[in-house]
Chain A
Amino acid sequence: MIENTKFQHRYNFAFIDESTKKEIRRKLLKAVAIPGYQCPYSSPEMPIARGWGTGGLHVTLAIIGREDIFKIIDQGSDASVNACNLRDFVQAMTGCRTTFDTTEATLIQTRHRITEEALTAEQVFVFQVPQPEPLRSVERYEYRTRQMHGEADYAKMWVSLYESFVRHGDILLGAGYPVRINGRYIMAPSPIPRWDIPNLHQAETLYLFGAGREKRLYAVPPHTTVEPLEFEDVRFHIEDFNGQVCNQTGYRKAFLDEIYSDDGSKQFVVNDSNFLDKLRAGEPIAPFVNAYIQQIES
């Protein structure tokens, strides 16, 4: 009797069918070839709602292999409900090993953070992106923003930075600070804190961005120039936390969360959960080094 193995598994490896994966990979290649350019893609249906990380998941599932070790973080935490659910899903659909350890992972998916530990050429880093269009805040029509990107017509974006300075005395774009990629496209780095922006610049790692709801993929390949928009006399800077340190470890060269106690007092703690665990256990750490972090006194 001929055995039909096709229907023994309910899903294809990594859930998405192979031809759709191919389509996503082709678009990723295009995105890598034109750093910072938003490449439209099919954004197939997933068993989670758009807006909950489908774009990141598409990228992850299109490129994951059986040997990959997968890590997923949500706002720096391996333990958030969203991260746990997506981790379980990827694990169930691929059988891949998962980890919390940033250095052990080969494929990392994230929402709103880059890890504190430096990423390597052996790793791929995938962002879930809610709003891929950096110009949306200054131009509501898609046909106009495409034209603006096509012609590198970014004056309006600059004016909005100028306005932010006029109103607040600083360029107060907290999360999702616009960056110029490879001297050409302005890109939304997804809502990561300013703290993470310098770590996109001339990195070792391939950074991939997926926006499922908006059906866009884009990329920052390794060793790409990534410049935050800044004026000659009003410069980009990272969060400074007013000299606060992590109240659990005394560490200060990491992005800190503000925690409010029941008595209303404010405390700070390292946001990256795996980094915090390592600090507390006294394990060796290999954090990102950049000019902005170096300026902070330890």
Chain B
Amino acid sequence: MNNGNHHNGAATAGGVGPAGIAGAGDNQWLLRVRNLTKIYGEPGPRTLELTGPEFSSNICPDTDSIVACAEVSFDLYPGEVLGIVGESGSGKSTVVKLLYFDLGKTAGSALLYPYDQGQTNMLEASGQQKRRIRNHLMGMVYQNPRDGLNFHFSSGGNIAEKLIMAGQLHVGGIRERASQLLEKTEIPVRRLDDTPATFSGGMQQRVQIAKAIANNPPLLFLDEVTTGLDVSVQARVLDLIRELQQELGIAMIVVSHDLSVIRMLTDRTLVMKNGRIVESGLTDQILQDPQHAYTQLLVSSLL
């Protein structure tokens, strides 16, 4: 067991890719997602054929099953920031929740390079392995802080949960690392022992971020993290995310219905509608020259 303030997990620094990937070449993906599909209810043989953007619907007319997302495929590279944009209900949250194991898949695979050198579909790992992956290799920041934080625990306790899962059973070490993380996320360290219930919305999101990066994961999911916040507070949280990304070189998947958030944070973007990816490419290109009619609509509404 660890003592002191050491922590496990792939350490990253100064934009260098996560340790697990060193030496694998510049083109080694971190995360490879193929055909990721989540259907609520019993799908019929033609469910996928009869749903999607062409039908402006994700509900199967035969069986009434709901295609939350289907046939989602993409690669994510170390240190890269990928955006997922689309209207409410288009399946964005479903994608990250499947990858963070909050939901069980209907079909598809996800390979994470530091897990078994990307040889094994992590979506089919055992509960114990999934917990390990989730704790060491991924972090999640939810739209609603209550989903990511336990309001009965102090903010330090919330961060402690991640550290304890990594084998840290030294209270002094936990408090030192948690203080460090609060500092990094611009929360006064004297709030360490206060519950996030007493924090402002922006601070709650920053505690979530502190918790999510506690074990230096190579991959972070951010699901509408600024959606509930005031514009001025939003800007501060976005700045923080951008700074952390540059400092730690974490790869991120940023989910937002808000193109300005996507524009500010991401390198590459997937546009989703009715559970499917309708367009993908460099964020700048998508914003300047959207191909799909739906994307054009989104972009024009931004201007």
Contact = CB atoms under 8 A, between A and B. Distances in A.
Interface of A: 147, 150-153, 155-156, 158-160, 162-163, 165-167, 231-234
Interface stretch (B69-77, B115-123, B170-178, B247-255): B170-178
Highest count of chain A CB atoms <10 Å: which of B128, B174, B193: B174
B153 interface: yes
A151 B127 contact: yes
A166 B171 CA distance: 9
Given A163-B154, A232-B3, A155 B170 contact: no
Contacts of B1: 232
Interface string B75-112: 00000000000000000000000000000000000000
Interface of B: 1, 3, 127-128, 131, 150, 153-154, 156-158, 160-161, 164-165, 169-172, 174, 193
A162 B164 contact: yes
A156 B135 CA distance: 13
Contacts of B154: 163, 166
Given A166-B193, A233-B172, A234-B171, A159 B127 contact: no
Nearest to A234: B171
Given A147-B127, A162-B174, A232-B1, 18 more contacts: A150-B127, A155-B161, A156-B161, A158-B161, A158-B164, A159-B157, A159-B158, A162-B157, A162-B160, A162-B164, A162-B171, A166-B154, A166-B157, A166-B193, A167-B193, A231-B169, A232-B169, A232-B170
Contacts of A147: 127
Contacts of B164: 155, 158-159, 162
A233 B153 contact: no
A287 to B, nearest CB: 32
19 contacts: A151-B131, A153-B128, A155-B161, A155-B165, A158-B161, A158-B169, A159-B150, A159-B153, A159-B157, A159-B160, A159-B164, A162-B164, A162-B171, A162-B174, A163-B153, A166-B156, A166-B193, A233-B171, A233-B172
A201 B60 CA distance: 60
Given A156-B161, A163-B154, A151 B128 contact: yes
Contacts of B153: 159-160, 163
Contacts of B150: 159
A81 B227 CA distance: 61
Contacts of A163: 153-154, 157
Contacts of B170: 231-233
A35 to B, nearest CB: 20
A160 B3 CA distance: 19
A8 B161 CA distance: 62
A179 to B, nearest CB: 15
A147 B127 CA distance: 9
Nearest to B165: A155
Nearest to A158: B164
Interface pairs A-B: 10 shortest CB-CB: A232-B170, A155-B165, A158-B164, A151-B128, A163-B157, A231-B171, A155-B164, A159-B161, A234-B171, A162-B160
A231 B1 CA distance: 11
A155 B153 CA distance: 13
Contacts of A155: 161, 164-165
Contacts of B3: 232
Contacts of A150: 127
Nearest to A164: B157
A166 B1 CA distance: 22
Contacts of B193: 166-167
B170 to A, nearest CB: 4
